[in-house]
Structures are given as structure tokens and as C-alpha cells.
Amino acid sequence: MKRRQRVSVLGSTGSIGVNTLDVLGRHPDLYEVFALSGFRNLSLLARQCAQHRPTYAVVPDRIAAVELMAALSLLSPQTEVLVGEEALSVIAAHREVDIVMAAIVGAAGLSPTLAAAKAGKRILLANKESLVVAGHLLMQAVQDSGATLLPIDSEHNAIFQCLSKVNDPAVVSVVLTASGGPFRQTPLAKLAKVTPEQACAHPNWSMGRKISVDSATLMNKGLELIEACWLFNLQPSDIEVVVHPQSVIHSMVRYVDGSVIAQMGAPDMRTPIAYGLAWPERIDAGVAPLDFQALSGLTFETPDTERFPCLRLAADAMALGGTAPAILNAANEETVAAFLAGDIGFMDIPRINEQVLVQSTVNPVIDVAQLLAVDRLARVTAKNLIEGV
């Protein structure tokens, strides 16, 4: 009998983590949960441990550990609680782990994702910042160790499914689709007054607050453009971005003979998660079949970079290369947090992001320590600009 695959879910209490556990729970004969990690939602993490009985659970600090251990003494006493950033790398690179779902939001997911890559794991990459901040280092680690890197973002997963191979000379371009977010048709003059609640009300997807704001500014699509360059060995000029409000076609690939191969499906993240878990096979994801009779139509638009300057900034940062994407990512994390806290306006996000990029020195990437230092400095610059608003 084939051994079940052991899975560590980094960021199990976020939307990707919750959906991953849903898919895993449908296939107990194929997978077992080895480790989970959460940040502040300890009650959910405790319930997840009670259901899936992992060997380890990781929390950020001792206070959280005491609270979780108290809950697990009754719910899952065999689960050992680990603490801190280093523990994330432990459960990502553990010799008993086969698959790592890298779903921690932000630059905090970089170190454990790199640890999984160096350990030769199958990595289901939902943490886009790992590639945005350290694309060269991550791809080199994957190549050196023989790890398998499978994209979970619906757009990159779609491209992966549509490509016959990386570096295919028959490929003309890759088409990234964007929903356009909640402000696709909002007059430009009104964007300065939108609220965090409005920005987080995505029309198609259920996501966390940070990624919802990124979708509203189209920074999410800009970060995905950078990701796609690393994943598929592309230049920004090889990538088209089109606004597709229905979010049914998740991305496409153009070929030299005029063919366009598209991947379609309901807007449900369990589809790419299941694809990554089972690749090169497929398993049931619990997703309702796409109902073509219910579709009113599929439309496409050119993105408005005046309305969504973050998309242009991301392409500029990738073209600059080196530490520029890390600088932009750090600035964006700070500006989005400030917007959600009510400290700046919606259109201050791209304005401050651009100022941080302009004011920062861009250097070639050397190592993780350098990137973390760049990240910290960019955050200081962003915070100073935020205070001046």
C-alpha cells in the first residue's frame, strides 16, 4: 500500500490554508497533515489541530504557545507546539515532510519557503512574496536541490496547466487575467475617498484583507507579473495583463500558430490547491462544476494604469531588477496596513510606493540577509512618508 503524503501547511488559518485543509480532508487515504502554523487566530488553529491531529503546530510567540497548549491539552494532546520563525523552517524542511503549502502572507513566508526548497520538497507556492522578494534565490535553491515548485495562485496555476514546457519557443506571450477588483468602474476622482471596507469587498473571491486591497489597487496583479517572470523564465514584455471581470478564465498562453490555450473554472482556490497536491494526477477538490448555461458572457478590458498605477510600478521594479521588487513589496505591505488602519487614503498607496522605490538604492541580490535588511529599510522609508500624509 502506498504511503500517505505528509503535508505541512504554513499559514493554515488563512483562506488558502483553510481551503488546503478542506481538500486534504477529502482524501485521508492520500494525505496526512504533519504540521500546521497560525498567527493570531488561535481558536481556529486549535480546531484544525483537533480535526487533523498534526505532529506539530507553530505559533509566533510564547504567549500564543501557552494559550494554544492549554486548548490542545484536551483537543489534540499529541500535537507539540513550537514557537517562532525558526520553527516555521523546521516544519518546512523536516525529513518526514513530503509537501509544503507555503501560504504565509507577506515577507514572513520567505525563510520557510527557502528552507523547503533547499530540502528538496514539493512546494505549493501561495506566498507570492517569496518570488517577488527573492526570486533568484528561490529558483536557484529549487534547481540545486531538485525540489518541485508548483504555483497555487490561480493565474500562475492556470499558466502552468496551459504550458507544454518552460522556455517553449512556440510561446508568443502569457496572458494574466485580472478581475479588476471592486473599483474597476469607479470614477478616478472618487478613489481617494474609498474605505477599507469597500476595498475588501471583492466581487468574485473570498480573500484576506491585505490581498483584497492588493486586488483593489491591482498591486496583486503586479506582484503576479513579477512571479510569472521567475516561474516561467519570462520578461515583463512577454506578459499581457487583461481585465476579465467574471474570473472564469484564470489565465492564457498564446502560441505562434495563433492558438490561445486557456484554463477555466469556477473562482474557487480549491481547484489549484488540489492540482498542486496531486500533480501530475488530479483529485476531487469539492468544487462545483462550471455552469456554462449560467454565464452571461465573458468580457475583457485593457487595465487602466492611471487608475491602477501599482501595476506599472511592479513592471518597473521587475525591469530594474536586483532588490527593486523587494523594496516595492515592503513599501506596499506598509502602505496597505496604513490604509486598513485608516491612516492614509486609497490613492496614497501607489503614491507612497513609488516614492519609496525612487528614494531607495537598488543593488544586485546577494543573499537573504541582504534582502531582509533591504526590506527593513524600505519599511522605515515608507513609514516616514506615511507619517507625513
Closest CA to 37 of 58, 20, 64: 58
Q: Where in the chain does DSSP place strands (E)? A: 5-10, 31-37, 56-59, 80-83, 99-102, 122-125, 148-151, 171-178, 239-243, 249-255, 260-264
145 assigned to a ligand binding site? no
17 assigned to a ligand binding site? no
Give the C-alpha separation, 255 to 183, whole Å. Answer: 32
179 assigned to a ligand binding site? yes
What DSSP string describes 206-269?
---HHHHHHHHHTHHHHHHHHHHHHHHT--GGGEEEEE-TT--EEEEEEETTS-EEEEE--S-T
128 assigned to a ligand binding site? yes
154 assigned to a ligand binding site? yes
- On whether the CB atoms of residues 330 and 379 are closer than 8 A, the answer is yes
The 3-state DSSP class for residue 167 equals coil
127 assigned to a ligand binding site? yes
156 assigned to a ligand binding site? no
Closest CA to 133 of 389, 351, 327: 327
197 assigned to a ligand binding site? no
165 assigned to a ligand binding site? no
354 assigned to a ligand binding site? no
153 assigned to a ligand binding site? yes
Run of H or E including 159 = helix 154-162
16 assigned to a ligand binding site? yes
Give the C-alpha separation, 164 to 145, whole Å. Answer: 23
94 assigned to a ligand binding site? no
List the binding residues for 1-deoxy-D-xylulose 5-phosphate: 128, 154-155, 179, 202, 215, 220-221, 224
Binding residues for Mn(2+): 153, 155, 224
- What are the binding residues? 13-16, 40-41, 127-129, 153-155, 179, 202, 208, 215, 220-221, 224
> Which residues are annotated as part of the binding site for NADPH?
13-16, 40-41, 127, 129, 208
